[in-house]
């Protein structure tokens, strides 16, 4: 996505959250392991973990950003299943 706007990955309801993340990076902060959701090419949603690192030019201003985006769908599903198991009796299946 070199040079492309990341807003096309932002699903409805996440624009404010994603804008806060980009504002922090534009201010020079590194954003590490933030969990959010992105929209795929086919419009479906995936859970992702994002790390963003700003790059500064000689004048000290942010001139670019490196991003590492990991698909966190499987990890999130495991987390949700463990949370469900913690709330549910294993013998009866009741909360």
3-class SS of residue 29: coil
SS3 for 50-84, per residue? Answer: EEEEEEECCCCCEEEEEEEEEECHHHHHHHHHHHH
3-class SS of residue 48: strand
Query: d(Cα 75, Cα 41) in Å, to the nearest integer?
Result: 21
Mean pLDDT for the stretch of residues 4-16: 70
Query: d(Cα 55, Cα 30) in Å, to the nearest integer?
Result: 10
Q: What is the mean pLDDT of the chain?
A: 85
More confident residue, 5 or 30: 30
pLDDT at position 12, please? 75
Task: Look up tokens 């995936």; give the residue.
Answer: 46
Please determine, for residue 1, whether its predicted confidence score (pLDDT) is greater than 60. Answer: no
What are the tens digits of pLDDT across the range 19-61? 888 889 889 999 998 888 888 889 888 999 989 999 999 999 9
Residues near 95 by beta carbon (within 8 Å), at least 6 away in sequence? 87, 88, 89
């Amino acid at each position: 996505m070199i040079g492309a706007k990341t807003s096309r990955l932002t699903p409805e309801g996440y624009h404010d959250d994603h804008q806060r993340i980009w504002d922090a990076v534009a201010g020079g902060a590194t954003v590490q392991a933030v969990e959010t959701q992105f929209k795929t090419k086919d419009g479906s949603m995936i859970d992702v973990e994002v790390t963003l690192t700003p790059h500064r030019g000689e004048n000290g201003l942010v001139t670019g950003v490196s991003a590492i985006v990991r698909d966190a769908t499987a990890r999130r599903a495991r987390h949700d299943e463990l949370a469900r198991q913690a709330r549910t009796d294993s013998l009866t299946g009741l909360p």
